[in-house]
Amino acid sequence: MRQRTAGIVLHPTSLPGRYGIGDLGDEAFSFVDFLVEAKLGIWQVLPLGPTGYGDSPYQCFSAFAGNPNLISPERLVRDGLLTRKDLAHMPHFPSDRVDFGPVIDCKKALVLRAYDHFREGAAPELVAPFASFCSEHAGWLDIYAAFQVLKDTRDNARWDAWDPELAACHPKAVARAIDANSDRFDAVRFAQFLFFRQWFELKSYANGLGVRILGDAPIFVAFDSADVWANRQLFKVDANGQPAVVAGVPPDYFSKTGQLWGNPLYDWDRMRETGYVWWIERIRACLALFDLVRLDHFRGFAACWEVPAEDETAIDGSWVEVPGGEMFQAASRVLGDLAIVAEDLGVITPDVDALRERCGFPGMRVLQFAFSTDGTNPHLPHNYVPDSVCYTGTHDNDTTVGWFRAHKSGATGKERAYIRRYLNTYGTDISWDFIRAAFASVSDVAIAPMQDILGLGGDARMNRPSSASGNWDWRLPPRSLGTSLRRRLAHLAEDTGRAYQEPEA
């Protein structure tokens, strides 16, 4: 990664648009243009998988599939799969938030309509690419499509509530269910074809202008996912498929009782017996989807916090060692150099640092964590190393303005005083004080969430860890990326040696 550059975190769902949620259409291409004009070479996004309960991109129905809610209806019109008449009577959606329930219903209906038109002969030039897509990705696509068909025909019940043969992913039982619902099965596969077609068109556009996409891969998968359903043997579950232990983290910055994520944990002994094939294929898929991959909860590849499944908090968990180094070695033998950024936040012990350094992955630094102790704090800019990615804050933090101004849940009085001394500021433009500090640091890459670029308060926060609702719904206000903001960012990128040059034609 050794290129001094900078970027912005903005999940595609947060883009403006008339369909209730950001998508992979014109606004996404316009955001790439904004980055180019602002001299920024990185667009960081959150995981792009199909979200389940709670709408979290970190709890998806598949670690390989894409989120059909991101499909652009306008581009389906361009491709001849929808007509203007199909889009004539859209519901009224709020522009500042994603109202996920109605949005999901609307997008699902539009994609199904596109599939019906395709089946009736629309866009015949897509027949061969669709068949090729289904063949190339059959390893995960057919499993995911079967999983979604079974959920749809069983009132969205979790897979462990299905008939025993189906819950056990018995091949003959699953095949009978698919045969009885072949149109639904193909519709799910077609939605995935549309997502990946639109995503790679956007990525190609960004790459052609010199913008790299930094994606995100959660370490764990959701229990109610095609991954666990079809690969039960790779997880610590009992004979009925129920987790014996679940994932979380001990008490930390975000919660005094720790965070109880509830994800099933990998059976790493079984992973080793298979040659880590599942992980290798997952990393392969991520590296195809993105130019760089932020690997979430990297410390979980050294040791995982295992919590008894019946516990209500994460307090009484324990650390259990994980052969992450062995897995990454196996992956690199197959895939070559791994363009991975290690999210090494939280309780970081020497074994985690040693694993990251052995793998050659850059780590992360976050300015909001910098002022809680003293001058030895690794998140203070004078302690950064070049091989790192620094942030003003992450999607799990409050916005910098919200954090600085909140007197109960944000920065302490001591932290605010330290910030004023360290940054020589009164804090009246605190988000940009942080952005300048990040850009001026020696970290190879400096990144800020869009909310900090705009100087927004806590109402614009993306996620509140340990809170089950009210997350992931923030949207970028329309027409907020004006010329003055582009120039301000471009000047800062130039002044700090981070301005990238658009590639020559």
296 labelled catalytic: yes
- C-beta of residue 268 within 8 angstroms of C-beta of residue 326: no
Residue 79 corresponds to which amino acid? D
Count of H-run helices and E-run strands, the chain: 18, 12
Nearest Cα to Cα of residue 144 among 189, 112, 101, 84:
189
Catalytic residue, from 23, 74, 79, 296: name it: 296
CB atoms within 10 A of CB 22: 23
Cα separation of 111 and 188, whole Å? 9
Active site residue 494: no
- Distance CA(202)–CA(75), nearest Å, equals 11
Identity (one letter) of the amino acid at 298?
F
Instruction: List C-alpha distances in Å: 362 to 5, 284, 321, 334, 384.
Output: 14, 19, 22, 21, 11
DSSP 298: G
Q: 60: which strand partners?
A: 51
Q: In terms of DSSP bridges, do strands 212-217 and 340-342 run parallel, antiparallel, or are they unpaired?
A: unpaired
Which one-letter amino acid corresponds to residue 324?
G
Q: Are 435 and 453 in contact (CB under 8 A)?
A: yes
Q: Are 454 and 446 in contact (CB under 8 A)?
A: no
Which one of the listed residues 79, 216, 343, 344 is annotated catalytic?
343
Contact 110, 76 (CB under 8 A): yes
Q: Which residue in the block uniquely carries the two structure tokens 């640091």?
A: 441
CB atoms closer than 10 angstroms to residue 5: 21
Query: At which residue do the structure tokens 């930390």 appear?
Result: 252
Alpha-carbon gap, residue 388 to 217, rounded angstroms: 18
d(CA 144, CA 227): 8
Sign of CA dihedral 141, 142, 147, 152: positive
Identity (one letter) of the amino acid at 123? A
Unique residue bearing structure tokens 């790679």: 200
> Nearest 5°: phi and psi at 77?
-65, -45
The active-site residue, picked from 267, 353, 396, 415, is 396
Per-residue CA distances from 235 to 22, 56, 146, 310 (Å): 34, 21, 20, 17
**Which is nearest to 299 in space by CA: 322, 316, 333, 281?**
322
Strand 42-44 to strand 5-9: parallel, antiparallel, or no bridges (unpaired)?
parallel
* CA 137 distance to own-chain centroid: 21
Q: What are the CA-CA distances from residue 244 to residues 230, 262, 310 (Å)?
A: 18, 11, 8
Active site residue 310: no
Provide the annotated active-site residues: 296, 343, 396
